[in-house]
Structure formats: structure tokens, C-alpha cells
Structure 1
């Protein structure tokens, strides 16, 4: 095992979407979204993100502001089963290579990952004067948390197991060699991985009320990416077999980058019907390594992408949002919405986007009811449909189709202040990936990817 493939270990670009939205985009930044989900046709302050053109129809001139705090908790689990090598039955007379044998029963293990973001702040602001409205927001529009796999990942262990076996076999077959063939059960593997990822965004733009029913918006968003990935794997013979070191791998890599997103939008206010649309252009975003540690007890060129100073594409895809809200009664309103994320045209590490079968489609709806003058109850739903494939999914970055439900309330504290409270949870469809060459080991294996997501938020909106 002078040189083995360790792609699985070093691909520590961990996608940590603890929010709603596409593969790399967080759409929920305000508790109003959590309680209703469909906000693409709103004309309240959270429209600075979801419908900036609609802010031209704010009821009065003046300064508006919103402050939101959310807490998000997610699990990312992998139920893995894969075959391992356990010996060889001789040398192939044609190829002169060892004929390897494998276990009859797959090695199986459940890997649990947890991602938490206890405090996620967002700030919204708008100033309206006549037909003009300037608006903006500051938020974490991508990532937003830390993911921890305390027992590592199956790609780590499977590659290590195969590598340990092959190295021991090579030593065993060396003329005069007396080294034992090392198989699972003769050694212990200690491995863990942490990853964190944030995209901080600051957006500014102008809305203009063209006439009594139509407005337009143009603006831009600065995005700053920061992430960090720390992982290790150590394999040692069991103490009663001598405790010798078999393999050591370690990586500590920080990454940063920035990009600019042009944003345009329109809003049509047609009596009780309001239609909002927004388009965010693709953001060219490269992240650069600040690598503190790369260690490997074996030769590999797979660590090259994580050397200090190396740049990796991590584009934010373009996004189209179209929504319609209708007032059925003075106290009853409903909204429907559609999102499209053009993920296939967004550059990803190693051109991973080419394995997607399509972009992401999202379908949202929400309803709100003014129970009394100062209390509004609401609920909503969202369906997210990715264009996933086996080649796109990996242990360190996997997604699952899902549906999301949200509930909550808005309380009018005064004529100037509103309090929004919302809770959102997501149910994911498990994704099963079966491979005949599991992580490049030459043996078959299966991963079942599953996730959970829960977000709670509270927001205070104030009109000065």
C-alpha cells in the first residue's frame, strides 16, 4: 500500500444546510417564513430578502427594521454496510496478482452526525420616501452551522480497511516476508470529523413604484464564505497483537472566499392579488485554503486539493422565485410560490454539478388568519425536489428530497411593533446508494442517507 486512494478522507467540503432552500442557499431568514413558508409576495419588512420589489408598496413613508434570531438543529446519518477483505487464495497464473477473498457478511455500522446553529441572527431594514424605497439585509445565506461525526464516516473506514489489508498482504508476499495478513478484528480504528460553514451576506438595493400597481427592484449582495474542516483517522493493532501503528491521517483546513450576487425583482399589486418575482444571478465563488495541518502515513495525491493556497469552486446557483398572494377575506390570506435553483450551472468542487440530473424545484404554500385584531395564526408547507444521483451523493455532502411544515403566529405589540414566532421541521426521504466498487475498495457496499431538521425563530419588526 505505497499509494492508495484517500479521496474519501480529504473530501471534507461538508455541505451544512441547516435552513430551507436549495443545495447551497438558505431562504428562511425571518420567523415569518418559519410560520408560513411562502413569503415571495409579501410587502412586509422580510420582503427585503423574499420580495424586495414589493417594499415599494409599504403603507407609509419612513424607516422600517426587523431583527430575527433563529436556532437550527439537524442530524445527518448514514447506515452503512460493506464487504471487507479477509484473505487471499493464491496467485492468478495469468495476471500474477493475488486472488483476494472477502467476508461473507458485510461490515455494518450506523454513523451519526449532528449539526447545530443555536444562534442565527438576521437584520432587515428599509427606508421609503415617495415612490422610492432603499432596502437591505444582513444574514447567513448559506451553511450556518457545525457538523460533527464523532465516529468518522464510512468512506474513512472502508478505505482504511482495504488499504491496511493490501499493505499487509504486500509485506506478506515479499520474498522471505513473515508479516501476518491483517484483517478487520485485528485492529482498532479511531476517527472523527468536524466541519463548519457559513456564508455571510449583505444586500442593498432600490425599489421604485412605477405606477399604482407595478414596482421594480435592482440591487446586489456581497457574500463572504468562511469554513473549517478538521478530521483524523488512526488505526492500530489490538493491544494483544502488539499495538503497532497501521495508519495515520489528519487534516486541519480553513477556507475563505467571496462573491457578488446581482438581484432584480418586480411586483404587481392588483387589488386583492399581489404577485412577486425575483431573480438572483449565479455567484462566482472560489474558496481558498488556509491549511494548518496535512498528515498521511501513506503516499497519496488526493491531499493536493487541500494544500495551502489552493482554490476550489463553490458557486451559489442562480435562483428564480415567483409567488402570488391573495386576500380572500380581510382576515384571511393565502400564498403560493415556486423556486428554481439552477444547480447544474453552478461550479462545484471536481465538477460535481455535472452529476445532477436537473436543478432544484421547490413548491411552497402558506395561509394566515387574523384570529383577533392583534393576533395572526399561520401555517405553511414546502416540497423540495433535487436532481440527485449516486455519483453526486457522498458521505461528506449528501442531500435528500423532503417536505417541510411550518406553524406560528404574529402578535401586534403596538401600532409600530410586530412580533413573529415560528417553528419549522423537515421530513426527508431516505436516499439509498449502492456501489459495486464501494469508495474505490473493489468490493460492494450500500449507504442509506437520512436527515432531520428543526428550526425555531423569533423576529421583532418595528416601524420608526
Structure 2
């Protein structure tokens, strides 16, 4: 019966939706990123996030603002195959085992991801900031449940019925998967709202620095249920029921440092974001579970705090203008996920942090039109112990393209699209979800993001 609590526990560990960046971080906040992907050495209003020190090299003094809207859509699918207890062999006094296969589909949608950027430059000084959703940003739905829930429920129902069968001298029936139906579903919604403010200073004609801070506010909600009932021809009685409805909130501060070196056609930008200690507190409205699982649900009760740190991040980028109309840039990111606290100390199971490699090319077709494209490779330090049905990642590569159109001398429109291809991750287990039987999950994902941004220089 202890397995019944798994739905509530796993729901509370559902990962943030991440569309570009590390395990828990969104780096795409402006359409300029989507269309070129490498923005760490760019000198433009989106640099308030990607290269804040570079804003000190803006060509003119004054106030600038940028507004961006993005739409992101993901799928998170699991091709599961696992053993089930299908009966009892009285001759050998052992359960008989079969194999169960099912394809579980999950969808994550963030139709509106807003961001606002602003900067004011006066001489060698620049103050800049932005508001964005730097983590999460949408709703993840698993309308058919997940294999970890179904497998645990199947095993739990069988083991309980076997215990009753033995205790009753064979009068109580053994319940097998063909005798009942399981309905389960879950929704998770997560946002990290971030507001950053900082000051940049141009030390010389070729170097500038930046220091600032970012306030992060976490807001999440999780709802889920699991019901197992005998089929109507067997009476339709309830075998298992549980439910969860929980809100979570928390906040943390991120110090940010940056440097930019500009020399002729070359520009170098670097940024370091310190790890953010972020604890999220439960506001649990509903948590139904059997009395036998009381000791397992302490972490999910009302008022309990759980670590959900934002990892430190290092960005290093360089750009070079080969021709008056052609510029290319390369970039590297490192997210130190392994040192950022997660629920249950899950970060310890990672092999290492996340490495990202980015490349972007921009071509000024005419004075008012720039087209661009880029690529990104994301390499996580994943392990079987880290991966789970509710929190899995896959190594990937992304391609982005788009355009920048100067609507006037002071107004620019950016349009971008990014598509990500993920490498399937296969996880095999001899003790699948604690059932005592073998099983295999193949995790796969897809991701598509479209964005529009409007920038204005006053």
C-alpha cells in the first residue's frame, strides 16, 4: 500500500519547463536569441540578459527598451515496457509474470512567454535590467498517467490481493491487471519570475564591466489523481485512490557579474551568474493517501520547504565581423547543476554539470534587413539514477533562424524560430519502480519555439 503515495511524491518533483539552457534555466528570452542562438557577445538591448557589460558600448547615449513575446511547445514521451504480476502458480508457490507495454504521451505548452528589457546609457555609465520568466513558463500535462504510477499500482494491488488470498485460505481472489482499470493524470504549472537590475561601466575604450542582481520568485501548482477499480463485470469496487492539489512558492537572489572587451572587429563577452539558493514552500490544499503511507508524505505536506536551487552559470562568447555585412559568433555555457540543491538531493546523481556550445551567423542583406541562423549543442551530465518519469532530460541540438527588420531608424522588429532535436535516453532497471520486476523506459522529447520582439531607442 505504500506505493500509493508515489503519485503525490512524483508530482512535487516535476521539473521546470526548460526551452533553452540548463536543466532548470531558460536562456531564450528574446527573438534575437531564437534567430541566431549565440548572443553572449552581442551589443544590443537583449544584452541586458546575455551580455550586460556590452551595453556600455552602445553607439549612442539614451534610453532603450525591448519587448518580447515567445510561444513554446514541447512533448515529453515515454515508451515503457515492464513486468507485471499476472497470477499465482500454486505448484511452485510463486507469482507468474507477464510483460506490459504502453506509450505515454506528455505535453508542455507555454503559449505566451513575455520579457521586457531596458537600458539607459550616459557617457561611460549604463544602467540596465529586464523582467522575464527565466524558468518554467507553462503547463505540463500527462493525461494518461505515467509508467511509474501504473507499474507501482499494479504491483501493489497484486501483492495486497495475494496477502489476502493466503490469509483467507484461498477464498479471497488474486487480483491481476486484466481484472481492473487504472485512470491517472497530472498537471504541473511552474514559473520563475525574474527581475534584474545592474550597473555597467566602460573603464577604457576597449573594456567594460557589469555588476547586478536578480530577484527570482517561484510559483507552481500541481494537481493529480490515480484511481484503480475492478471492471464492472467483477463488481466495479475501488482498489486504490489518491489525489493531490498543491501550490508552491519561494524566492531567491542571484548576483551577476560581467565583462566585455571590444577591439576593432572583435568583441568578447563573459558573464557569471552565482548559484541561487531557492527554497519552495508547500501550500497543500489536498493530499489523500492511505494511513500506511503516513511516514512517506512528510515532505509533501502543507508548510514543508524543499530545495530548488538555480545553478550557477558561466557564459563566454566571442564575435567577429568578417565583412561589413557579415558577422559570426561562438559561445560556451556551463551550468553547475551538480552543486545546485534539488529535492531529495537528486543533483548528486548527475555525472557533472551541463555544457552548451553555440554558433551564430548574421548577414545584413540590406541596410534595414538582417537574416541570421544558429546552432546549439546541449550536453547534460545525465545518469540512470537521475532520470525519472517526472524529471527526465535528453541531450540535444537546436537550430534557429530568423530576421531583424529596421522599421525606422529607432525601431527594430526581430522574428525567430528555434527547433530542437533530442537524443532518446534508454533506462533499464532490474527493479522497475520498486516492483521487483525488470523494465525499460525510452525517454524522448520535442521542442519548438517561436518569438517576436520589438526594440526601440529613444
| Superposition TM-score, scaled by structure 1 size | 0.96
Counterpart selection for 1:222 from 186, 211, 215: 215
Contact 2:4 2:242 in 1 (8 A): no
Alignment check: 8 A CA contact 1:8 1:439 kept: no
**Do the aligned residues in 2 keep the contact of 1:427 with 1:453 (CA within 8 Å)?**
yes
Deviations 1:238-283 (A, max 9, x none): 0000101000011111100000000000000011000000000000
Deviation at 1:15, TM superposition (A): 1.3
CA RMSD of aligned residues (A): 1.2
Partner residue in 2 for 1:31: 31
Q: Deviation string for 1:121-176 (max 9, x for gaps)? A: 00000000010000000000001110000001111100000000011111111144
Tell me which residue corresponds to 1:238. Answer: 231
Match of 1:285 in 2: 278
Aligned pairs, how many? 456
Structure 1 residue 177 displacement after superposition:
5.4
For 1:359, what is the secondary structure of its paired residue? strand
Supply the distance in 2 between the matched residues of 1:8 and 1:248 (Cα, whole angstroms): 10
For residue 100 of structure 1, what is the aligned residue in structure 2? 95
- In the TM superposition, residue 99 of structure 1 has moved relative to its aligned partner by 2.9
The CA deviation at 1:7 is 3.5
SS at match of 2:177: coil
Cα 1:4–1:156 shift into 2, 3 Å: closer
Residue 452 (1) aligns with residue 446 (2): yes
Listed as ranges, the matches of 1:119-198 within 5 Å are 119-176=112-169, 178-198=171-191
**2-structure distance, mates of 1:6, 1:438:** 16
Q: Distance in 1 between matches of 2:356 and 2:5?
A: 35
The match for 1:95 is: none
Instruction: Give the alignment partner of residue 347 of structure 1, picking from 323, 337, 341.
Output: 341
Q: Are the structure 2 counterparts of residues 107 and 201 from structure 1 closer, same or farther at C-alpha, using a change threshold of 3 Å?
A: same
SS at match of 1:439: helix
How far apart, CA to CA, are the structure 2 residues paired with 1:247 and 1:233? 8
Work out whether residues 4 and 299 of structure 1, in 8 Å CA contact, stay in contact via their aligned partners in 2.
no
Q: What are structure 1's unaligned runs of at least 5 residues?
A: 93-97
Equivalent residue, structure 1, for 2:329: 335
Summarize the alignment of residues 239-318 of structure 1 with structure 2, pairs less than 5 Å apart.
239-297=232-290, 299-300=292-293, 301-318=295-312
TM-score with structure 2 setting the length: 0.98
Which residue number corresponds to residue 89 of structure 2? 89
Tell me which moved more, 18-27 or 435-444: 18-27
**Distance (whole Å) between structure 2 residues aligned to residue 64 and residue 176 of structure 1:** 80
Conserved? CA contact 1:252–1:291, under 8 Å: yes
Deviations 1:30-88 (A, max 9, x none): 00000000000011000000000000001111000000000000000011110101223
**Structure 1 residue ranges, 4+ long, deviating more than 6 angstroms after superposition:** none
Give the distance between the partners of 2:313 and 2:153, measured in 1 at CA.
40
Verify the 8 A CA contact 1:194 1:231 in the aligned structure 2: yes
Contact 1:247 1:298 in 2 (8 A): no
Structure 2 unaligned runs (5+)? none
Rounded to whole Å, the distance in 2 between the matches of 1:201 and 1:224 is: 6
